[in-house]
């Protein structure tokens, strides 16, 4: 208490002298008056007292400044050194108000020079402590960030100059990269450097050392430093592997490494929040920019449809980590990093929407040149439906991405549909349907074109019903497209079997004619029927219906129309008197034969018809 009172008294004396002394001589006179009043002021503020204090501090501090061994290797030296540092800082502060006095100015200049040398030595000790702090240890008490001397002890790795975080089993933990004692020593140094006005140098030293630690940790996680150009030049298969490593690295960085660094900064710079914020920014800026640049390189690379799924992975990784970005980067120093993360995240959303536009273009550009053998599934149908089915496994993410587009359009005053993702999918399905209709016209046989549309339409409906596409497109869409399949069924029936059924129609207006004329006409019709039926069965046996249920439905429908008509026709033929018992000579197929030939339809195994 006595020392504190003395310091206050001296401070008051200096202030009064500085305030009242308009000239050097007036200030000197005032100080002499105070010195005569109190002996303590005489020792402290007289020219001889300042000189003696400075020489004493110079002698004590120079010994440590020139010391080869680390000062912090000896606790006694540490205590003595820090005490001298405190005295020097106080002296410089106390002498500053009277530095204009010509006899004091020289001493102040020497004191500031000594202070600079002392701060350089403190900075060296600060770096040495940071670099020899030992290996990191896991601390699962991440929700208790306040510094405590009860923290667990840290094992030191004497072989490692810079500690690097070990792989961790989960994200709900922190790593103590430095032992509690070392953290306390660093805090004592930081406190002195801040008091002396060297906080920027302290923050820079801290940032340089811990930044190297963080970069080595990222490297240990398997993430190399890659420029945007290097990422863009990668083969896609190689980039896919890098994306997997990147996702693991950014999660460990944002959930474990940076929270650990934030806590360490807060402890080292306890009481100096601005310095803690600046130091934390210096530590993490390079690594965060490295991680975000990788994501940005993915965003500005090719928008080919097959890249959607990995781009979604990158988008989801940053989206899920945005709370960590918001929590860790609250201060003004970190604001650009938080904004950059948000920018990259939004850009990835734009890329995802752009990839869907590329899918639109891919469908449009798929040519309608060669027909699929047997009217089977077209590769574009299988590709698009499997692609959309896989994409819709990330339905919530895609809805978010397209909802962002809706919000942006609302901001511009544009009119948009309530569900942009649903609208986009419906648009793609319309493009696919139009593309398939164009392809169906390539077939010279209209019936085969109808089979082609039935196959592809049925496949589309089944795929939609089997996954999230059904919920997005809705029941009305499904009913509408099932109705289209039925329409193509009717077209197939009419264009193909309608002609055959016309040969089995009996003209009852000729019933009054002679039996000879009637039987001759019937035999001629039967002959045409046999030839046409044979050709149709031969041709359609190689056609393809991939869906077994649809195949059976078609056969039943054909049989349901053909068999009764054929039975009636044969009965009419038997009734002719001039045919009589020679009827079997004219009848090539009995009813069982007709059914057997119908059963043999659609047995084609042409390439590209498999259902996947």
Q: What is the pLDDT of residues 220-253, one digit of tens each?
A: 999 888 899 999 899 999 999 999 999 999 999 9
Residue 401, both tokens: 């991405």
Determine whether 430 is exposed, middle or buried from the number of CB atoms within 10 Å of its CB (0-12, 13-18, 19+).
exposed
Buried b (16+ CB within 10 A) or exposed e, 155-167: eeeeeeebbbbee
DSSP 300-364: TS---GGGHHHHHHHHHHHHHHHHHHHHH--STTTHHHHHHHHHHHHHHHHHHHHHHHHHHHHHH
Q: Residue 546 and residue 612: Cα distance in Å, rounded? A: 10
Instruction: At 541, give phi and psi (nearest 5°).
Output: -65, -25
Q: Which residues contact 499 (CB under 8 A, 6 or more apart)?
A: 532
Place of tokens 């006899």: 103
How confident is the model over 364-374, as pLDDT tens digits? 999 888 889 99
Over residues 354-364, mean pLDDT: 94
The residue that leads in pLDDT, 493 or 37, is 493
Contact between residue 574 and residue 583 where contact means Cβ atoms under 8 Å apart: yes
Residue 33, both tokens: 């008056």
Q: Residue 205 and residue 189: Cα distance in Å, rounded? A: 12
Q: Residue 146 and residue 149: Cα distance in Å, rounded? A: 10
Does pLDDT of 22 surpass 50? no
pLDDT of residue 349: 95
Determine whether 367 is exposed, middle or buried from the number of CB atoms within 10 Å of its CB (0-12, 13-18, 19+).
exposed
The residue that leads in pLDDT, 45 or 534, is 534
Torsion angle (degrees, nearest 10) of CA 172, 332, 273, 142: 0
pLDDT of residue 587: 83
Place of tokens 């995802």: 352
Choose the weakest-confidence range: 75-84, 125-134, 310-319: 125-134
69 by DSSP, 3-state: which? coil
pLDDT of residue 132: 83
Q: Residue 293 and residue 288: Cα distance in Å, rounded? A: 8
The residue that leads in pLDDT, 108 or 194, is 194
Contact between residue 601 and residue 538 where contact means Cβ atoms under 8 Å apart: no
Give the pLDDT band (50/70/90) at residue 507: low
pLDDT of residue 514: 46
Choose the weakest-confidence range: 116-120, 195-199, 232-236, 414-418: 414-418
- DSSP character for 373? G
Residue 525, both tokens: 């019709």
pLDDT of residue 581: 57
User: What is the largest distance, in Å, between two alpha-carbon atoms of the chain?
Assistant: 159
Instruction: Please report, for residues 263, 285, 328, 330, 560, the alpha-carbon distance to residue 203 in angstroms, rounded to integers and kept in the order given.
Output: 15, 13, 18, 18, 89
**Radius of gyration over alpha carbons of the chain, in Å?**
44
Q: Residue 107 and residue 414: Cα distance in Å, rounded? A: 73
Does pLDDT of 144 surpass 50? no
- H-helix or E-strand spanning residue 450: helix 446-466
Give the pLDDT band (50/70/90) at residue 49: confident
How confident is the model over 416-439, as pLDDT tens digits? 444 589 999 999 999 999 999 999
Length of the chain in terms of residues written: 612
Does pLDDT of 490 surpass 70? yes
Buried b (16+ CB within 10 A) or exposed e, 134-143: bbbbbbeebe
Instruction: At 602, give phi and psi (nearest 5°).
Output: 60, 45
- H-helix or E-strand spanning residue 139: strand 137-139
How confident is the model over 535-590, as pLDDT tens digits? 999 999 999 999 999 999 999 999 999 999 999 988 888 777 555 555 667 788 89
């Amino acid at each position: 208490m006595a020392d504190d009172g003395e310091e206050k008294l001296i401070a008051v004396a200096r202030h009064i002298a500085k305030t009242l002394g308009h000239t050097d001589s007036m200030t000197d006179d005032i100080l002499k008056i105070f010195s005569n009043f109190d002996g303590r002021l005489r020792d402290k503020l007289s020219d001889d007292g300042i000189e003696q204090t400075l020489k004493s501090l110079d002698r004590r501090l120079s010994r440590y400044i020139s010391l080869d061994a680390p000062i912090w290797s000896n606790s006694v030296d540490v205590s003595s050194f820090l005490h001298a540092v405190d005295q020097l800082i106080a002296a410089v502060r106390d002498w500053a108000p009277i530095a204009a006095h010509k006899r004091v100015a020289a001493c102040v200049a020497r004191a500031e020079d000594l202070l600079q040398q002392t701060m350089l030595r403190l900075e060296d000790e600060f770096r040495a402590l940071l670099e020899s702090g030992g290996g990191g240890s896991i601390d699962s008490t991440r929700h208790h960030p306040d510094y405590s001397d009860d923290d667990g002890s840290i094992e030191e790795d004497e072989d490692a100059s810079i500690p690097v975080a070990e792989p961790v089993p989960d994200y709900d933990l922190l790593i103590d990269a430095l032992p509690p004692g070392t953290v306390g020593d660093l805090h004592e140094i930081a406190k002195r450097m801040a008091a002396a006005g060297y906080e920027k140098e302290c923050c820079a030293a801290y940032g340089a050392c811990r930044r190297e630690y963080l970069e080595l940790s990222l490297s240990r996680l398997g993430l190399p430093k890659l420029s945007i150009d290097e990422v863009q030049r990668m083969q896609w298969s190689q980039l896919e592997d890098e994306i997997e490593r990147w996702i693991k690295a950014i999660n460990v960085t944002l959930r474990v490494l940076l929270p650990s660094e934030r806590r360490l900064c807060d402890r080292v710079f306890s009481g100096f929040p601005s310095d803690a914020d600046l130091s934390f920014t210096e530590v993490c800026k390079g690594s965060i920019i490295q991680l975000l640049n990788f994501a940005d390189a993915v965003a500005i690379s090719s928008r080919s449809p097959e890249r959607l799924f990995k781009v979604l992975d990158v988008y989801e990784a940053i989206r899920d980590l945005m709370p960590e970005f918001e929590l860790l980067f609250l201060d003004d120093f970190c604001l650009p990093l938080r904004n950059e993360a948000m920018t990259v995240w939004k850009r990835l959303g734009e890329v995802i929407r752009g990839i869907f536009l590329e899918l639109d273009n891919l469908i449009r550009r798929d040519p309608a040149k060669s027909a699929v053998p047997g009217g089977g599934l077209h590769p574009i149908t299988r590709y698009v439906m499997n692609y959309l089915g896989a994409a819709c496994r990330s339905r919530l993410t895609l809805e978010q991405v397209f909802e962002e587009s809706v919000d942006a359009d609302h901001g511009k005053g544009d009119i948009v549909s309530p569900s942009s993702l649903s609208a986009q999918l419906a648009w793609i399905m319309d493009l696919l349907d139009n593309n398939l209709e164009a392809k169906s016209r390539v077939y010279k046989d209209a019936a085969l074109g109808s089979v082609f549309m039935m196959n592809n339409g049925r496949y589309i409906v089944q795929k939609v019903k089997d996954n999230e596409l059904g919920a997005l497109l809705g029941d009305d869409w499904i009913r509408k497209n099932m109705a289209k399949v039925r329409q193509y069924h009717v077209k197939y029936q009419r264009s193909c079997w309608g002609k055959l059924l016309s040969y089995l129609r009996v003209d009852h207006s000729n019933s009054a004619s002679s039996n000879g004329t009637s039987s001759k006409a019937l035999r001629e019709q039967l002959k045409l029927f046999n030839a046409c039926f044979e050709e149709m069965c031969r041709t359609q046996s190689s056609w393809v219906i991939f869906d077994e249920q649809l195949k059976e439905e078609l056969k039943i429908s054909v049989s349901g129309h053909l068999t009764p008509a054929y039975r009636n026709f044969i009965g009419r033929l038997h009734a002719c008197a001039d045919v009589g018992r020679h009827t079997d000579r004219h009848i090539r197929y009995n009813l069982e034969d007709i059914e057997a030939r119908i059963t043999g339809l659609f047995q084609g195994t042409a390439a590209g018809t498999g259902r996947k």
